[in-house]
């Protein structure tokens, strides 16, 4: 699979330049790759009897358009090119334009009055630098109001490729073919809604240029996942001794689901520390876990929980806190104690709110994996939900740099896994997961992976991937039950290992 990175405008441009300057790949060769791959996709999504109008701007995005025109022309008899600013053309575009003229491909400066079936938008790509006004704006508005199919090359023209904001006006594409890498603006703000179906094509830029980038954002794929080995001669301690702390009178299900997923995902031994008021119901539900019961008060842990944890913490290698707990002082104290220990810690749900009270403790040297959804991320960091939503990449990355021993799993319909400045994006939207309990399942898998993986980032990557793959169920998304996902974990593990 072609490794998919997401870059800002500047990084994407620097990578193009480095390919040309450092690796001496001529710009026209990259452009030819871009045009060939784009033409291939255009042929897949259109019919050759459809009419095509290619809009070419003043830069290399326009040059791509002219190269695409040259490649499509033999197959599409009704093909037309619009070049509004012939005098302003970039050097490469002048060369492409000469070839288009040699081939006698029809062109003109203005958008023709007739409507075309397909518009290929090559007005502006990664070089858009200011608001679109004047005749470009009119052209974009006219194309948007047509009922035709619009295919954008590299970016929907008018979308800022870093932040995804509309600059003046923007093409509403049905398809966008991104060249070499995804642009961050395709994933953020209005950009998300302007791309339509997004394709990514390899244009021959050396991969090393992506790998060497600081602050990488990469789409998580199966090649990034290295499931931990399970040696035949292993002992149960080989796979981690976990203590999962959680539960309250009205929420025994969360920790039960988390524990089931931890066990199905391969944890060595599992103990649940729960308030006494729910221990009976848990004992009836399952018998694979041990219980560390704590006196309760009003349905939640009593203050005895703090001493109980102190006395027992050294029996475990991994502690998770949060499933089915509540926001209160005991939760704060338990999180504080766990973070002061030398154990691997997983914080979920209200434990994330509690962590905020002693946030400097996240600068500990041992691994901490945090699994907030967007609102919990806001509780954890004090950053407003809307700010997180407008650039989750940046928020996740900044957090991971500030707390370098932590791995952040920022959950939403897309999940961002961040560690020491690198961000992975799990792009697997699934309405079946938009249900209470999905997060608890993930927490359990994280605990199990932490018990088995040597590397904390790998543990987080494996867990999020296993979670999402196990939720690929052949049933209606409305009917997902937590057990369906949990019972599918063994199939996922088997497939990933084979």
Cβ proximity to ligand NAX, 122 vs 448, nearer residue = 122
Q: Which of 76, 136, 182, 480 binds ligand NAX (CB under 6 A)?
A: 136
Among K ion, ligand ADP, ligand NAX, none, residue 438 binds (CB under 5-8 Å by kind): ligand ADP
**In the stretch 414-453, what mask flags binding to ligand NAX with x, by CB under 6 A?**
----------------------------------------
Sign of the C-alpha dihedral computed for residues 429, 10, 171 and 92 taken in this order: negative
Six token digits for residue 315:
């029996």
Q: Which of 101, 193, 280, 429 binds ligand ADP (CB under 6 A)?
A: 429
Tell me the closest approach of the beta carbon of residue 102 to K ion, in angstroms: 24
Burial of 216 from C-beta contacts in 10 A (0-12 / 13-18 / 19+): middle
Backbone angles phi, psi at 244, to 5 degrees: -105, 120
The verdict on 191 binding ligand NAX (CB under 6 A) reads: no
The answer on whether 154 is annotated among ligand-binding residues is yes
Q: How far apart, in whole angstroms, are the C-alpha atoms of residue 498 and residue 493?
A: 9
The verdict on 439 binding ligand ADP (CB under 6 A) reads: yes
Name the residue with the smallest CB distance to ligand ADP: 439
The answer on whether 60 is annotated among ligand-binding residues is yes
Q: How far apart, in whole angstroms, are the C-alpha atoms of residue 403 and residue 417?
A: 13
Which helix or strand (DSSP H or E) is residue 41 part of?
helix 27-45
The answer on whether 254 is annotated among ligand-binding residues is yes
Contact 436, 319 (CB under 8 A): no
Residue 53: which of 129, 2, 114, 118 has the closest Cα?
118
The answer on whether 157 is annotated among ligand-binding residues is yes
Strand partners, 231: none
The verdict on 250 binding ligand ADP (CB under 6 A) reads: no
Q: Which of 21, 87, 104, 130 binds ligand NAX (CB under 6 A)?
A: 130
- Exposure string over 327-365, b if 16+ CB within 10 A, otherwise e: eeebbbbbbebbbebebbbbbbbbbbbbbbeeeebbebe
The verdict on 326 binding ligand ADP (CB under 6 A) reads: no
Residue 158: which of 179, 108, 134 has the closest Cα?
134
The answer on whether 129 is annotated among ligand-binding residues is yes
The verdict on 434 binding ligand ADP (CB under 6 A) reads: yes
Q: How far apart, in whole angstroms, are the C-alpha atoms of residue 56 and residue 405?
A: 48
> Measured in whole angstroms, how far is the alpha carbon of residue 392 from the centre of its chain?
9
The verdict on 87 binding ligand NAX (CB under 6 A) reads: no
CA distances from residue 131 to 14, 22, 170 in whole angstroms, order as listed = 22, 32, 10
The verdict on 59 binding ligand NAX (CB under 6 A) reads: yes
Backbone angles phi, psi at 364, to 5 degrees: -65, 165
Binding residues: 60-64, 121, 125-131, 136, 154, 157, 254, 324, 373, 411-415, 439-440
Task: Enumerate binding residues for ligand ADP (CB under 6 A).
Answer: 349, 373, 411-413, 415, 429-431, 433-434, 436-440, 442, 467
Binding residues for (6S)-NADPHX: 60-64, 125-131, 136, 154, 254, 324, 373, 440
Task: Enumerate binding residues for ligand NAX (CB under 6 A).
Answer: 16, 20, 27, 30-31, 34, 57-62, 64, 90, 124-132, 136, 153-154, 179, 203
């Amino acid at each position: 699979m072609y490794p998919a990175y997401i870059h800002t405008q500047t990084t994407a441009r620097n990578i193009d330049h480095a390919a040309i300057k450092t690796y001496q790949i001529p710009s026209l060769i990259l452009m030819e790759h871009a045009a060939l791959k784009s033409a291939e996709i255009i042929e897949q999504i259109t019919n050759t009897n459809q009419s095509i109008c290619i809009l070419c701007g003043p830069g290399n995005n326009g040059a791509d358009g002219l190269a695409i025109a040259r490649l499509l022309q033999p197959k599409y008899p009704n093909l037309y090119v619009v070049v509004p600013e012939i005098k302003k053309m970039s050097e490469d575009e002048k060369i492409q334009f000469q070839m288009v003229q040699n081939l006698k491909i029809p062109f003109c400066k203005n958008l023709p009055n007739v409507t075309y079936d397909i518009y290929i938008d090559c007005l502006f790509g990664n070089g858009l630098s200011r608001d679109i006004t004047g005749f470009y704006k009119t052209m974009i508005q006219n194309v948007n109001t047509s009922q035709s199919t619009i295919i954008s090359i590299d970016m929907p023209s008018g979308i800022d490729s870093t932040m995804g904001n509309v600059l003046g006006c923007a093409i509403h594409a049905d398809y966008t073919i991104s060249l070499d890498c995804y642009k961050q603006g395709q994933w953020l703000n209005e950009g998300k809604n302007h791309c339509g179906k997004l394709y990514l094509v390899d244009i021959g830029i050396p991969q090393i240029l992506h790998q060497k980038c600081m602050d990488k954002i990469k789409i998580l794929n199966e090649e990034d996942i290295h499931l931990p080995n399970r040696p035949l001669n292993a002992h149960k301690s080989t796979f981690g001794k976990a203590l999962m702390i959680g539960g309250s009178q009205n929420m025994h299900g969360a920790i039960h689901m988390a524990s089931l997923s931890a066990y199905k995902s391969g944890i060595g031994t599992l103990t649940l520390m729960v308030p006494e008021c729910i221990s009976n119901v848990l004992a009836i539900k399952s018998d694979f876990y041990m219980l560390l019961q704590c006196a309760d008060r009003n349905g939640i842990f009593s203050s005895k929980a703090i001493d109980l944890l102190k006395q027992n913490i050294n029996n475990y290698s991994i502690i998770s806190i949060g499933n089915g707990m509540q926001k209160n002082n005991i939760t704060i104290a338990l999180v504080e104690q766990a973070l002061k220990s030398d154990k691997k810690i997983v914080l979920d749900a209200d434990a994330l709110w509690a962590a905020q009270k002693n946030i400097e403790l996240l600068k500990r040297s041992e691994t901490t994996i945090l699994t907030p959804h967007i609102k919990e991320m806001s509780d954890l960091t004090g950053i407003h939900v809307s700010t997180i939503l407008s650039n989750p990449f940046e928020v996740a990355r900044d957090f991971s740099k500030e707390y370098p021993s932590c791995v952040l799993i920022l959950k939403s319909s897309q999940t961002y896994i961040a560690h020491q400045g690198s961000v992975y994006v799990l792009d697997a939207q699934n309405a079946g997961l938009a249900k209470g309990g999905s997060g608890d399942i993930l927490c359990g898998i994280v605990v199990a992976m932490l018990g088995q993986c040597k590397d904390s980032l790998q543990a987080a990557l494996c867990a999020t991937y296993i979670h999402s793959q196990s939720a690929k169920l052949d049933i209606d998304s409305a009917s997902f039950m937590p057990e369906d996902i949990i019972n599918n974990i063994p199939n996922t593990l088997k497939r990933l290992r084979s």
